Every structure is written in C-alpha cells, then in structure tokens.
Structure 1
Amino acid sequence: MNTTRTETDKAKSQSAIDAATEYWTDAWQRSFLTLEALNERGNIHLAQAAKEVPNVLNFGSELVLDGRKLERPVNYGLVSIVPPDGAATDPSKPPIVVVDPRAGHGPGIGGMKPDSEIGVAIRAGHPCYFIGFSPEPMPGQTIEDVCRAEALFIEEVARRHPKAERNPIVIANCQAGWQTMMTAAIRPDLMGPILVVGSPISYWAGVRGKNPMRYLGGVLGGTWLTALSGDLGAGKFDGANLVANFELANLANTFWTKEYNVYSNVDTEKERFLSFETWWGSPVLTNAGEMQWIVDNLFVGNKLSTGQIRSSDGLRIDLRNIKSPIVCFCSWGDNITPPQQALDWILDLYDNVDEIVANGQTIVYSLHHTIGHLGIFVSGKVALKEHQEFVSCMEMIEAMPPGLYEATIVEVTDKTENRELIDGKYLFRLEARTLDDIRAFGVNNADDEKRFAAVARVSEVNLGLYRTFGEPWIRAMMTERTAEALRQTHPHRLRFRMFSDENPFMAPVKAAAAEARLNRKPVSPDNPFLALEKRASNWITTWLESLGEVRDAMTEAAFLNTYGSPLVQAAVGLMAEPNVVPHHIERDLGRQRAAAELRNALDHRYEAGGADEGALRALIYIRKPDGAADERGFRMLKIIRDTRKANRRLTLAQFRGMAKEQLQLVLLDEERAITTLAKLLHPGEPESDSALDALRAVVVAPGPLTQEEKSRVVRIEKLLGVKLMNAQVRN
C-alpha cells in the first residue's frame, strides 16, 4: 500500500513538473514573440512618421484635389477610391464621400478594413471618395478654412458624377461629424444624406456616473492648458495629447489587457494588433489656433448646437439650416461619444417634433448596444450590418418626410411578410419618435446646466490670466527645435520607439523570436499554470477597472461640488442671472415668421394637386398611428414608380417634396386633409385608379395593419366610394 501511494505521489509530482515545464516553455516563447510584435510596431511607427501623408487605407486611391494648393490652403486632400478587382460602380448611384476624423490620429480608419465604410460603399456599387489629411497643418489654417475646403471637395465630387440622381452621400466619423455638420449648415445645397458616426455635437450632455470625460474641462480649470500645450509646441498642438486622453479613459485596456491579449494569443492576434496600432501610433498635429477654437467653442463652450458660432464674415452657423437628411449612428458602448452627446443637439435646437417638421428636417438616429467608439466607424463585423443597411437604404431615408425617426434593423425570418421586397437578410425600419424618446436617455437638470455654464466662464477667466501673465514667457523661451524635441519624447511616442530598432537591446529579440517560432510548443488549454496566469490577469484587469471607476467618481464629485458652489457661480456672474437657460438655441424671429408664412401657404394647398398627392396623403393618414416605414413599402413605391411612363415618373426630390407637403397638411389639420381627398382622387379615372392601385400595394407591403389603421382604411373607402382592402387583409 505504501508502495502504491509512493508511486501515485511520484506520478503527481512528475505531472506537476511536466505542466510547469510545458507552461514556462510556452511563456518564454510567447515573451519573445510578443517583444517581436512590439519591435515591429515600433518600426512601423517610425516608418509612418517618415511619410509625407501616412494612412491606413486598405484600398487603392488617386489624388483628386490637394487642399494645400487652395486659395486658403489646408492640410486636407480629396482622393478617389479605386474599386478592387471585380467590383463595379453604378454611375447613376450617388457617390459616397467618407470624411476621416482629425482627432489626434492619422487618416484612413474609415477604410482600414475590407468591411469598413468604404468597403461597404464599394460593394453597394457607389463611387467612393475619401477626405483625409497630412500630419502637418498649413500655416494659419483655421477650422473655417477646413469647412470651406470640404465644401469644395464635395462640389468636385458632384461635378465628376453628372449622371447621379442625387447629391453625394457624406459619411463623417467622430470629429469629422461636427465639421461636416458645420459645412452643411453653411452650404445646405451641397450634400445628400449625412451619416455622422460616433460624433459629439452636444458636449455638455450625459448622465451622472457614466460620462466622466465631459467633466475634464472643468477639473482642469478650462482651456488654458490647451493654450499652454500650443505654446509649448511653438504654435502647434500635438495630437499625441488627445490620444493620451483617450487611453486614460480605460486604464485596464491601456495598461494591461491590450498587450496581454497579444501575449496570451500571440500566434493569432499579432496581425490585428499591428494593424490597429499602425493607426493608433501615428499622431498628427493641428495649429494651436485650431485646437483652441475647438475646445473653447465646442468642448467647453458648447456653442455649436446652441447657435453661438459665427463665421469670419458674420454668418451664424445654425444647424437648423441643414436641408439634407441627418443620420446619427451612436452606441451605448461608446465612452467617448455617448448617445446623449451624439443626439442632444436635437433638444438644443427644437422644443418638439412639430418644429422639426415645420423646418423641413429629416433626422434619423440608430443606437448600437455594445460597440465602442473606434469600432463604430472601423466597422468590421460588429457594426457591419448597420453600415450596410444605412448605405443600401439611404434612398429611402432621403425620401422620408420631415420628422424624427429611429432606425431599427432586425434579422429576417421565415415569418417575415413580403420577404421578396427586402434586400439582404436584415429588415430596415424607420419608427417615428418624439423628443421625449431622446430625453429618456438622460438629460442634465437646470443645476447641471449652470455648472457647465460656470465652467465656460471660469475657463475664459483662466485663459485670460494665462494669456496675460504666462504666454509671453513661454513663447519667448520656445523654439521649433525645442518643440520638436518635446514631441519626440512624448510618452505616447516613446512607448513605440523604445521597442523599435532604435533601441540596440532589441537586436537579439529577432533571433530569439525566430528560434521560438521554429520550436513553438503552445501550452495546453487545461494547464493549471495557464489557469493561474489568466486568473492573475483577471485580477489585474479588475483592479485597474476599479481604479478607473474610483478616479471617475472623484472627478465627478469634484466637478459637481466645485461648479455647483454658489460662490463660484456668483464670482463668474451666473447668480446675477437666475433665470438664464444657457443650453438652448436662441429663438429666431425670422424663422418663426417663415413658419407662420408656411402655415398660411399650406392653408391653400388642401385641394391642390392630383391623384399622386391624394394617394400619398391617404398613405400618410393610414400609416400615421404606426408612425413607421420600412424598406418593403419603399421598395414597392420604387417598383410602381419604375412602371410609370417617363413623363409621369417622379424624381426622388419631387417625391420628397410632395411627401413633405402632404405630411404637413395632415399634421396641420388631419380632418380637413382627409375630407378633401375627394377633390384629388376620382375613382374611375385612369390616373386616379392607377394611384389607388399603388396605394393598395404600398399599404400592405410592410405587413398586417393594426386595428386603428384598418379603421382609417374603411373611412377613406367610404369617402371615395372604393374598396382598398380585400376581406382577408381587412380581417
């Protein structure tokens, strides 16, 4: 018995030795392979920095316009994307322009992967263009110059595609979103639908306990640090500072999980890691004046959505001027641009949906549940269905009457009605929403609004003090050579360069990694030491996440207590304005007068038009309780349109204008809108019969009607003396 026990103990001991040997062999090999990956990352960083216009585009491109040669030069450029072999573009489809964000990183993320925004656009048959930038800003360029250059670029795209039925579709990511919205407000005639992806536009918005980045301007005392950074850069702001801010938002990912993920999966994860780090590790510069304008007017001042920004020639930049449909794609998993910051500009501009309709704007939003800030416009597999559906259904969005809608995308099943009218495996649906739906995501109360208003004023004071007492000394001491030395020693760049070939201690790594790869022996998944490693990693991750949560809670508490203080608010003059509401655009008497004139004009339009107007009004009336439209109804409309003779075929612009007017008539006086249908539709006449046939087909295309919708059908039938629905549909 003792002999048996001894043999068992020896076997266990040998098994433990074998497990330890297996684990440490694998760990040693993974260590050198990870160092090799870091070495390659560092070398890529140096190679990218040496390029005149580095980018991570995964598609061929041809330069169309160089912004550096414009009358007001900027470091932006327009390129045409060369479709891959086998891909063809349709000249009748509107071109798609992807605008990359200049938020610290280099260009190209919108086309970084085959399944990115550019890839989706090309597969859908659209000619595709890309607006990117070079690392060095042009001397004296301003944000306004960039907006004007973007307008010139889009004009050129439209000029190159005369056969396209509509203006170019613009997809703008993150920082490029608010930039494009400004451009569209200045030049509302230029663009087709605008898709802004993960773009912060209402900067004070958020909810307590979840969105700590909005407090940074306050806890840092305003924007004087931005001015200091620009002076230390000899007139240039280093984008590495912005990247560092993004990284500090997630301590666990930055200081542990990103590199550990490579180490633990080095055989499969290396290429994905290097692909992303190529973009992440190429920070660009902006003029100090550009960055100061951004933080003063947007991040701290929140002046864009409240109409407080004016161009150099005195034009107020009012987002209500935008006539293109606006689509906002955001995510609950985005800690950089939460849904409130992506959507609350709508609350800043409007008091209710009726104002949106009266202004003629179509606003659509879509919420992803989990994807993070970068993934939302990198696309890849996580947000691929949203990007595909947005691109394929842009024509439908453009045809929608004014209002506020939420886009929902659901997978098609065997029970889905009229599947033949659906393009692909997802059903795209637009559901009418009110401003209360956006308010339900969380809004600031009046006290929080005053806190942020206090930050804006404190920032002005501190910036003035720095300009007066600090800036002259800093500028006198700084030279371009000193500024460049500071940039090269920035921690964000150093962590790349320290593992590059510039470090002589990395020389042996390549040989050791090659040896490890030649004799690679991955550890078995059930190795107990591997389990201990993963447990330790989880502990480190949890500790860093907890540390971040404590930091964020302390930041929020410091902000709320400091800027909620009556003393601070009194010192900056807010207590002298107890009824001030700083977070809403000013009433525009001219716009209100125009709305009143529109209502008066509509009063004479109830009996104007013909059968097409009547059928469309009836459709709006029937479907009004549901407040939704999906691609099946629009596809049926297109089929009907295509069967019409060319001289009776409505263009998309004509259809949208008609839909806008008929919706406004129904909203203004629903009873009158329906009782006058008999003036437009005359059953028995060919034109009216054709329009009624179209109405029958479109009404049932999205599926069964609700009881309320059926009762509305019955009322129209009685008014016109015709049957629209058969018994099966009626029941």
Structure 2
Amino acid sequence: MAFGLPHGDNVNPFFSVVTDGNAWTARQRAVALTAQLSEWSAVGELTSKAAGRHFNNISATHGERLRGTFNALTGLVAEITKPKSSPFSLLGDARAYATDRAQRAILMADVLRERGDNFFAHEAAGCPPVLIYDYEVVVDGRKLERPCNYMLLKITPPEGVEVFAWKRPYVIIDPRAGHGAGIGGFKADSQVGVALKGGHPVYFTAFWREPEPGQTLADVARAEAVFVRHVQAEHPDAPKPVVIGNCQGGWATLVLGASHPDITGPLVLNGAPVETWSGDVGSNPMRYNAGLLGGQVQPMFWADYGDGVFDGAWLVLNFEMLNPGRTWFRKYYDVFERVDTERGRFLEFEKWWSGFFLLNEPEIVWIVRELFVGNKLARNEARLEHGRVLDIKQIRSPIIVFASHGDNITPVKQALNWIMDTYADETEIKIRGQRIVYMVHESIGHLGIFVSSSIAKREHQEVASTLKTIEALAPGLYEMVIEDVAGEGHSKHFTVSFAERRISDLPGYGDGRQDELPFGAVERSSELQGELYDIFVRPFVQASVTRASAELGRQFHPLRLQRALFSSRNPQCSVLPAAAEATARARAAVAEDNPFVLAEKLLADAFEQSFDIVRDLRDAWYEMTFYSIYATPQMRWFGRNFNFERTRKSKEELVALPEVQSALLHVASGGFVEAVIRMLILLAEARGTVRRDRLERSARVLTKDEPFRSLRTEQRAQIIHEQSLIVEYAGAAALETLPLLLRTPEERRRAAEVVQYVPGVLSDMEPRTLAMLQRFRQLLDLPPATMDVLDDPLSALTQAAQ
C-alpha cells in the first residue's frame, strides 16, 4: 500500500514519501522528488536573496558612513595639531565646552520634564486633537444609536482665510494606531492648511482616548458614514465630500467607501497599508511580525491583560523599534544640540507622539486578523460584521493613492498591490466604472506624507486643485505625474498629467510575489493559535485581571514610565525649572568649531551607527528566520488555501458581465451628450496620457456647459461609464455609429468643435490625437480641421440659457 500521493498543492509533503515501490513508477517518483527539491530551492533562494540584499545594504550604507566618520576624525586631528594650537588654547576650549554642555544638560533635562508634565496634562484633558486650528464638535459619536468614541470636528478658518459653502468639503480621517488625532492638521502646510487655502470647508474625524463599551469597527464605520452625511447636508450645493485617509485612516476610508458607496466623493489614501503582505525582500521587516510574534494571539493577550482594552502604547513602541537609533538616541541628541531653539518644536511633536490611545479587544483583533495577518480587505473577504462582506469593487468614487519609496512603515507595494488583488486587470476597473489614480514619490517619509514637508505640500496642492477634474477621467487606472517646469520656491509651477496604466505597470509588479506565499501559513497559524488561546488560556488570563490591575499595568508601560520619571511628579525634578531659568540667563554657547564639540559629534554619530548596525543585523536575521520557517514546503502546504491567488476572468467572461452587455445594447442610442463624451474617451484612448490643462477643459465642458451642466453628478458618471465600455468592447462600432447620435449638421459641427477645443492647439497635438479628430470629422461629413478652436464653443449657449 502507498501513502505517497502525486505531488501538488493538495498533498501534504510530510506524507509524499512512497512506502510501496509498486505504487508509483520511477518516473512519478522522479517528478515528485524534483518538485520537492524545487520547493526547497525556493526557500534557499528567498533566504539567500534576503541575506544578500541586507548585507549589501549594510556594507554600502555603513561603509560610506565609516568613511565619512574617518574623514571627520582626520579633520579633527588636523584642527587640534595646527601650529597655532597649544595646551593652553585646548584648556580654554575644554573649559568652554564643559560649561556649555553642563548648561545644555540642565536645559535638556527641563525639556524632558516639561514633556512629562505635558503628557499628564494631555491625558487629564482626554487627549484632545493636536490640531493647530480652532474647531467645534458638530457630531458626537458617543450620542449615536450605536455609540463610539469618534467625533466630527468642523475646522474654523484662521483669520484672513475665507471658505465657501459651495466648494467641495474635505473630510480628513486620521489614523487611530496608538496615537491621537490631529497629525493631518499639525502644521499650516499640512492637508488642512492646503484645503483651507483653497477655500474648501474642512472637517476632521477625531476620537477620544477611551473607546465606548462594546465598540466595534462596524460602529466606527457607521459613525463615519453619519459624519459624511452630515457634511453633505451642511453643503447641499457642493459636490460630494472628498474623504482623505492618512495611514491606517486610509484603509478605514476604503471600508467607508465599500460599505457606503453612495455618500462620498473622491477617496484619497495617504501612505495607507492596505496590502499588508506585500513588501520588498531585504527590507520592510514590520510585515514579518505576525509570523514571528504570534499573530492575533498578541492583541488578544494584551487586551485581556488590559481588562478587555488594548493599550495603543504597544503600537507606538513597535514604531519606535523600527528605527531605535533615531527614536531612542538621535532625536534627543538633536534637541540637546539645538536646545536653545528646538524646545518648542520638540514638545509640540511629542505632545502628539505621547498621546497613547486605547482600543477595545474586538477592534484591535479585527484589525490584526482581517488586515495585518489575513490581508482580507484587498481580497474582498473582510467581514465588517457577521454576514457583511466588504467589497472594494463596490466603491464608485475615484480613488487617489499616494505612496513613497521613502516610507518605511507603509512600503509602496503595501499601498498599491491591493489594486492587482482586488481586480482581475485594468479592464475590470473600467467595467466597474472606477477611476484609480496613484502617485509614487521617491524619498518622502511616512509622516511627511501628511505632516509638514515642502515635498508633501506640493503633492497635496496638486491633488487639491486636480480633484475637480479627476472625475472627468474615463474609468481606468492612471498614474498622476507631477513635473517641475518653471519658477522657484512658492512661485514654482507644476505640470500635471495622467498616464493611463495597466496593472502590470504598477511599481514592483515585475518583481513577482513569491515572497508573499509564506503569509498564507502565517494566517492559518494565527487563526489556530487564536482558537487555542481562546479555549485554553484566555479564561485563566481574564480571571487573573481586574480593572485596577489593568490600569496599573498601563501606567507601568515603558513609554509612560519614561515620561513619568522625567516629570514634576518626580521630586528630584522639582529643581529643574528654576535651574533652567537661571541657566538660560547665564547662557554662553560654545563655538561650533570647538574641537571637543567636533569630537562629541563624532562619538554621537558612531553611537547612532552602532544602533543602526544592530538594527540592520536584526532585520536580516528577522527576515531569514521568517522565510526559513514559513517558506518551507510543509508550511506552503499548511497555508495552501490562504494565499493571495485568485481566479482571473478571461476577456470573454468580462464581456458577458451585465454591465458590459447593457452598455453594448446602447451603442447606437443617445444624442449630443453621449456623442461628445464618447468622442472625448476615444481621444484619450488615442493619446494614452491626459495633461491636466486638457483635463480641466474637459471638466469645464462636462460640468459648466449646457447640456452637460443640467446633468446630476451620478448621471454624468453613468454616461461616462457606459461610453467607456462601448469604446473598450466595441471600438469600431463606437466610431461608426457616431452619425446616428448626431443627427443634424449643426449638432455635428458643434460636437466636433467641442471635442477639438479640449486638446487645444492643433500644432501641439500628438499625431494619433490629430488623426482621430480628422476621423471624427470625416465620419460626420465635415471638412478637415485646419483652424484652432481656442474658445469654449458651448459657453455662449450656456450664457444664453442662463
């Protein structure tokens, strides 16, 4: 009898060993052995690839830094050994250095004391948002039918800034990932400031520190839907609100759009970790946490330890451990170096960073199970609650995604790969009538995406000024490209274009996704561990915890204890305010070229680099250990039903979808509106890229001119969707039937002029665009275009109608 089975995804590799030589032929045994060796070689390939990239990075990065340190050390030695130097001058330098550093130490200690005092004052006040703008609470989530700790704030414009009720309102959703709300409006140049400067009303979703009893993510999603409906009611003459989600607020924005697709305008996702299994081999170690730290068992245990409440300080500690050299040393040394000028900036940021928020156990477990371990939102398998599956494909609003290669918390692939998992291909995006626009920056960091940064400011300004035109795009996948063209500083002007893309054009598509297969085993392991913990361990943990012990445990969390020890609650810190005041009066800063200052900076750089070397070696070990465990054939089999692969529809199956068949029935139906929209889509198909100036002219025609102006937004979107499907699946018929839609010579002439007005001057058009324009005119029995159409042909008719 043979226990061995033909090798494949449904065969347990533990038992794929033949015990009866007659069961398999030699050829079958050879094939099975080859498959086994191939899978094991894949393990070696992943681990060696990870090791190679890590150690190449360590060698290149730290080699360069060591060379810089050596050069600085050589310069220091040369400075000390100059002929003019003497023991007496060095003694004077030493005295000045010692005085300066003693003064800085007192001032720095007082800064840390004030941070600790601010921490306790902020918690006592309930950790309100750290917005720099005034605001009023317009909807309190605690008073809703299903209460939650969220609230909707209306931002009060600062003096000199005017907003208009008829302009599209902005609703900003900040992340609830351990910290409090307000980072999206933390600086004048952040999202709130950019929107206010454009005259848009701005609303902000914030939250109190403690969740409501029994609160779930479904309650939060319902509350956010109530907030958006409230904003719509407050601005009936404005387009639907644009909803901006920062970091984890990004996937919350997708949840809102998928569960309530009728209420939102464009959705903007900034550094949002949606496809959490994705990343680059050799970097992004955070994605391996679930496999090596226990998956959903961790939040289950810490929530039980907190009497049913999970402490967000653990999430903040995870963020700090990503770059300990920066968070545990360099940021403090930078303040120490510039203590005379950096006090305010440091305390301002730490007020937000030190605001530790709480989540109910069902909330944090849902986030870990459905997103960070299960990766289910991208696969359209996440359940917001029992019987309610979230399907991103139900979203009808444009989706704008902003990612950056400099973001070490949300890598580019985590921000974008959900597109290829959610949709079969770019054709399905068109069939669904969706517009997905993405931007990728080369260097901006995670917080810089939505805090204060000249780079982020540029992106936010362009998104803000372009949202009104994105809805005029035909359904599809686009990359938004921002180019610097003229001017400097605040006067710099940018050209924006929208390049139509395929899913295969997404960054990282060509890298393959074999590195994600092991996460299927992680998901299944997490679920099993969660079940075992729930049955055998949880009763004992819960029985040993009281509300008082949970609160005591939170107070002794390392991050809270650190702030408590350096606060006025510590009697030893009581002398610091007076000492700091006296020190500030007697302050005498040391010269920057003091050799002892230069030596200190060298030591600081070396100390930080030692942290970084340990971090990089830790990350290398972390990744290789992960793949050594979860990339094995046994674990691949264990998680075979939990991978990211999905059945792809063929083109024939897509054509058979009801949306396509309904559109094709109307290929010869319609009038002036349908004809012009169809022709504009055919033009866009011909050139492949849409510059913003052309898109703005298109948006003007479709939203400001009659007969388009009288259409409701939903009607216009439906016509664009239908005509896009006709162009996609019946391109020849879409052209040939144009004369049936434009019946009179006047309609044909006006339609041809409108379509020529959008791309602009004839001499600037690409050959394919010009050829398509001439083809339109030929079909409509019009002479070839020889004169430019520079003025909107419909503006006079629109003014006459008014």
Whether TM exceeds 0.5 here: the answer is yes
- Does the 8 Å contact 2:278/2:516 carry over to 1? no
- Does the 8 Å contact 2:282/2:620 carry over to 1? yes
In structure 2, what is the equivalent of residue 169 of structure 1? 242
With over 3 angstroms needed to count, the CA separation of the structure-2 counterparts of 1:259 and 1:562, relative to structure 1, is same
Greater CA drift, 720-729 or 604-613: 720-729
CA distances 1:529-552 after superposition (whole Å, capped 9, x unpaired): 222222222212222112111111
Instruction: Give, in whole Å, the separation in 2 of the partners of 1:142 and 1:502.
Output: 36
1:286 has 2:353 as partner: no
In structure 2, what is the equivalent of residue 98 of structure 1? 172
Which one-letter code corresponds to 2:561 in the other structure? L
With over 3 angstroms needed to count, the CA separation of the structure-2 counterparts of 1:414 and 1:502, relative to structure 1, is closer
Q: How does 1:617-628 map to 2 (within 5 A)?
A: 617-628=678-689
Q: How does 1:500-511 map to 2 (within 5 A)?
A: 500-511=567-578
Instruction: Give, in whole Å, the separation in 2 of the partners of 1:94 and 1:414.
Output: 29
1:366 has 2:439 as partner: yes
1:344 has 2:417 as partner: yes
In structure 2, what is the equivalent of residue 599 of structure 1? 660
Deviation, structure 1 residue 138: 0.6
Give 3-state SS (helix, strand or coil) of 2:192's partner: helix
- Does the 8 Å contact 2:130/2:182 carry over to 1? yes
In structure 2, what is the equivalent of residue 5 of structure 1? none
CA distances 1:628-677 after superposition (whole Å, capped 9, x unpaired): 22321133235556874578655554443333222222211222222222
With over 3 angstroms needed to count, the CA separation of the structure-2 counterparts of 1:152 and 1:654, relative to structure 1, is same
Greater CA drift, 78-87 or 243-252: 78-87
Which one-letter code corresponds to 2:513 in the other structure? N
Selected match of 1:514 from 581, 586, 608: 581
In structure 1, what is the equivalent of residue 212 of structure 2? 138
Q: How does 1:467-482 map to 2 (within 5 A)?
A: 467-482=534-549
Which one-letter code corresponds to 1:499 in the other structure? F
Instruction: Give, in whole Å, the separation in 2 of the partners of 1:440 and 1:38.
Output: 43
In structure 2, what is the equivalent of residue 671 of structure 1? 732
Percent identity between matched residues is 39
Selected match of 1:564 from 617, 624, 631: 631
Tell me the number of residue pairs that the alignment of Structure 1 and Structure 2 aligns: 705
Greater CA drift, 280-289 or 309-318: 309-318
Which one-letter code corresponds to 2:207 in the other structure? F
Which one-letter code corresponds to 1:531 in the other structure? L
Instruction: Give, in whole Å, the separation in 1 of the partners of 2:763 and 2:164.
Output: 31
- Does the 8 Å contact 1:410/1:426 carry over to 2? yes
Which one-letter code corresponds to 1:454 in the other structure? A
With over 3 angstroms needed to count, the CA separation of the structure-2 counterparts of 1:327 and 1:584, relative to structure 1, is farther
1:630 has 2:691 as partner: yes
With over 3 angstroms needed to count, the CA separation of the structure-2 counterparts of 1:482 and 1:643, relative to structure 1, is closer
Selected match of 1:322 from 382, 392, 395: 395
With over 3 angstroms needed to count, the CA separation of the structure-2 counterparts of 1:12 and 1:414, relative to structure 1, is closer
- Does the 8 Å contact 1:206/1:442 carry over to 2? no
In structure 2, what is the equivalent of residue 722 of structure 1? 782
In structure 1, what is the equivalent of residue 293 of structure 2? 220
Q: How does 1:234-313 map to 2 (within 5 A)?
A: 234-313=307-386
- Does the 8 Å contact 2:752/2:777 carry over to 1? no
Instruction: Give, in whole Å, the separation in 2 of the partners of 1:594 and 1:605.
Output: 15
Instruction: Give, in whole Å, the separation in 2 of the partners of 1:414 and 1:334.
Output: 28
Instruction: Give, in whole Å, the separation in 1 of the partners of 2:389 and 2:547.
Output: 36
Instruction: Give, in whole Å, the separation in 1 of the partners of 2:761 and 2:249.
Output: 37
Which one-letter code corresponds to 1:613 in the other structure? E
1:432 has 2:500 as partner: yes
CA distances 1:472-496 after superposition (whole Å, capped 9, x unpaired): 2211111111111110111111222
- Does the 8 Å contact 1:201/1:341 carry over to 2? yes
With over 3 angstroms needed to count, the CA separation of the structure-2 counterparts of 1:648 and 1:179, relative to structure 1, is closer
Selected match of 1:491 from 558, 573, 598: 558
Deviation, structure 1 residue 96: 0.8
In structure 1, what is the equivalent of residue 190 of structure 2? 116
Greater CA drift, 636-645 or 671-680: 636-645
Which one-letter code corresponds to 1:399 in the other structure? A
Instruction: Give, in whole Å, the separation in 2 of the partners of 1:136 and 1:712.
Output: 60
Structure 1 unaligned residues grouped into runs of 5+: 1-7, 416-422
Give 3-state SS (helix, strand or coil) of 1:455's partner: helix
With over 3 angstroms needed to count, the CA separation of the structure-2 counterparts of 1:641 and 1:354, relative to structure 1, is closer
Which one-letter code corresponds to 2:467 in the other structure? M
Give 3-state SS (helix, strand or coil) of 1:406's partner: strand
Structure 2 unaligned residues grouped into runs of 5+: 1-81, 790-802
In structure 1, what is the equivalent of residue 275 of structure 2? 202
Instruction: Give, in whole Å, the separation in 1 of the partners of 2:250 and 2:322.
Output: 21
Deviation, structure 1 residue 613: 2.9
- Does the 8 Å contact 2:484/2:492 carry over to 1? no
Give 3-state SS (helix, strand or coil) of 2:483's partner: strand
In structure 2, what is the equivalent of residue 710 of structure 1? 770
Deviation, structure 1 residue 230: 0.8
Instruction: Give, in whole Å, the separation in 2 of the partners of 1:262 and 1:359.
Output: 52
Which one-letter code corresponds to 1:690 in the other structure? R
Which one-letter code corresponds to 2:680 in the other structure? L
1:660 has 2:733 as partner: no
Selected match of 1:62 from 112, 133, 136: 136
- Does the 8 Å contact 1:632/1:702 carry over to 2? no
In structure 2, what is the equivalent of residue 391 of structure 1? 464
Deviation, structure 1 residue 599: 2.4
In structure 2, what is the equivalent of residue 3 of structure 1? none
- Does the 8 Å contact 1:358/1:595 carry over to 2? no
Deviation, structure 1 residue 84: 1.2
Instruction: Give, in whole Å, the separation in 2 of the partners of 1:595 and 1:16.
Output: 85
CA distances 1:460-480 after superposition (whole Å, capped 9, x unpaired): 222222222322221111111
Which one-letter code corresponds to 1:371 in the other structure? I
In structure 1, what is the equivalent of residue 607 of structure 2? 540
In structure 1, what is the equivalent of residue 120 of structure 2? 46
Which one-letter code corresponds to 1:715 in the other structure? R
With over 3 angstroms needed to count, the CA separation of the structure-2 counterparts of 1:76 and 1:672, relative to structure 1, is same
Selected match of 1:455 from 518, 522, 547: 522
With over 3 angstroms needed to count, the CA separation of the structure-2 counterparts of 1:489 and 1:443, relative to structure 1, is farther
Which one-letter code corresponds to 2:752 in the other structure? L
Give 3-state SS (helix, strand or coil) of 2:759's partner: helix
Deviation, structure 1 residue 176: 1.6
In structure 2, what is the equivalent of residue 4 of structure 1? none
In structure 1, what is the equivalent of residue 25 of structure 2? none
Give 3-state SS (helix, strand or coil) of 2:534's partner: helix
Deviation, structure 1 residue 428: 2.5
1:76 has 2:76 as partner: no
Which one-letter code corresponds to 1:693 in the other structure? E
Give 3-state SS (helix, strand or coil) of 1:80's partner: strand
Give 3-state SS (helix, strand or coil) of 2:607's partner: helix
In structure 2, what is the equivalent of residue 19 of structure 1? 93
Instruction: Give, in whole Å, the separation in 2 of the partners of 1:678 and 1:424.
Output: 45
Selected match of 1:34 from 108, 111, 119: 108
Deviation, structure 1 residue 616: 3.1
